[in-house]
Structure 1
């Protein structure tokens, strides 16, 4: 049984702890958060130890792996610390704030022999897994284009670090773009080679964007357009994959539909994102074939985001 620790006991940390509770291969033995009460709340359900300092947690508890749910600016340093201690790491997306940081994390994993994975969970929605199968089967011909539109009232409730580019690495592109790029790379099997973008923040003086219109070119002669609008209260979330003989459309979850033979066919699915990811992470730790996101892949996502910001 793998002894796991969690660093960062917010909403995502609680969800990770619930997934661990249901996995027979894992045991949560330690929880760390700068707010002790939050760590204690999660730890109590697992009879785990609580800490406010991740270094103390590492020194005092035997750990096989840690799950890091932290502000983006902490991803690199905390990941490298645990890797250098020989502890395997699953770090939430985005992997880091720059390709340079990603390279440093990969080097630390290679030097220590500890394993590093990145938490891109939306690939585990059954919609994207099924659309990937459609793409690989050739059922609808060749994949040529992708469009994604996502509207959300982005600013309310965000912590201060989220709205400071030095701490977050960017705005809606860094946050949601990491999901979008992963989904497209996962389904297509290709990577971003060019990016054109227009970014803005019409609602505040924060130095992060909340609106984005992006054109991406992928290897394999595939293109994608991505539109994020962080202004409206009305939500929209739709990703469409255009093939030579049909289309597949997902709405940000497990359900999706396919257009073939001049009609739409609806499909349902079930998804348990963090549990499914944990299953893959355990396989990764065991040295088995796994669908977990490798650090090299996570680096490609950050490289694509850097191309968007550089335009």
Structure 2
């Protein structure tokens, strides 16, 4: 079988630590081109993976006969470059958040449909073993009715791991559009939609810039969310958890409480109302610090979707629904009112 030819546009930390490594490990993929505005960065990755280096993504898309591309660029470029790639006949895996507005997201979805190509958004939380097990338990009725939840994603901020540190685009509002909520909060919005199996209808949020100096992107946010059936819970996203990353979720049900990535040893702890406790060792969640799972499974799923001509688990529509939760939170914080989530 001929290998899938892939290009990675943007050679920052997410490309180096996730996309390129995982494409390289997939036996069905050949990395044929890489692109970065910083020429040395593109050249370095090109040499590492035996690919051709570009500094202009338009030139890459016009020149290279690739099947698929990963978009690992600053947030404001996600939609325009994804659309350009889809219109050039390439399948697209785009990093989150997929876009900076509903309109942009809709245009991406439309471009994928018009060109008959796959569009996947890089929400890796759905592939974490503890999260998948929790979904099974909820769907099988093990927890009974779900009443509430709390989910958190926080670390010390992107300056500790992004390619350009404190000078990077994450802190430039024109390029980032949104801070911790786009970096981390959108992941948890997507995860909760996936676990609960329903959409959010309302959100009330405080989205603040309080921990980092000299920036106007948010670094601390807390949201109260309500689903269509009335499940309520909180979502926190932060770049101010300086001592240790927190990537935990707790789901409170009628028959059991599920604690996900909340215990240092067990990735899932189920506390039953009967007093019984079941601990699952399922392998740690991948972190920006170290260790964790060896793969996010995002790349493998994307490649599989193309080769088997199946719709990706997190397609454009799914990515957009998760984005809408975050856009609703921004609106709520700005208006100091409860916002409806577009659905």
With structure 2 as the length reference, what TM-score do the two structures score? 0.84
1:131 aligned residue: 134
2:236 aligned residue: 227
1:144 aligned residue: 147
1:302 aligned residue: 323
**For the structure 1 residues 223 and 45, does the alpha-carbon distance in structure 2 shift closer, same or farther, using more than 3 Å as the test?**
same
Map 1:253-268; keep pairs closer than 5 Å: 255-260=267-272, 261-268=274-281
Number of positions where the alignment pairs a residue of Structure 1 with one of Structure 2: 310
Return the structure number with greater strand share.
Answer: 1
**For the structure 1 residues 158 and 120, does the alpha-carbon distance in structure 2 shift closer, same or farther, using more than 3 Å as the test?**
farther
- Residue 50 in 1 paired to residue 50 in 2? no
**For the structure 1 residues 81 and 300, does the alpha-carbon distance in structure 2 shift closer, same or farther, using more than 3 Å as the test?**
same
Contact 1:8/1:68 (<8 A) preserved? yes
**For the structure 1 residues 46 and 297, does the alpha-carbon distance in structure 2 shift closer, same or farther, using more than 3 Å as the test?**
same
Of residues 11, 25, 34, the one that matches 2:13 is 11
Q: 3-state DSSP class of the match of 2:248?
A: strand
Contact 2:207/2:220 (<8 A) preserved? yes
Query: CA RMSD of the aligned region, Å?
Result: 2.0
Q: 3-state DSSP class of the match of 1:226?
A: strand
Q: CA deviation at 1:110?
A: 1.6
Contact 2:42/2:53 (<8 A) preserved? yes
Q: CA deviation at 1:144?
A: 2.2
Q: CA deviation at 1:214?
A: 0.8
Q: CA deviation at 1:227?
A: 2.7
Map 1:185-224; keep pairs closer than 5 Å: 185-203=193-211, 204-224=213-233
1:249 aligned residue: 259
Instruction: Report which stretch shifted further, 244-253 or 176-185.
Output: 244-253
- Residue 161 in 1 paired to residue 169 in 2? yes
**For the structure 1 residues 128 and 155, does the alpha-carbon distance in structure 2 shift closer, same or farther, using more than 3 Å as the test?**
closer
**For the structure 1 residues 46 and 155, does the alpha-carbon distance in structure 2 shift closer, same or farther, using more than 3 Å as the test?**
closer
2:186 aligned residue: 178
Runs of 4+, deviation exceeding 6 Å: none
2: CA distance, partners of 1:75 / 1:68 = 7
2: CA distance, partners of 1:303 / 1:30 = 33
**For the structure 1 residues 90 and 237, does the alpha-carbon distance in structure 2 shift closer, same or farther, using more than 3 Å as the test?**
closer
1: CA distance, partners of 2:22 / 2:308 = 21
1:22 aligned residue: 25
Q: CA deviation at 1:197?
A: 0.8
1:239 aligned residue: 249
Instruction: Report which stretch shifted further, 159-168 or 107-116.
Output: 159-168
Contact 2:126/2:191 (<8 A) preserved? yes
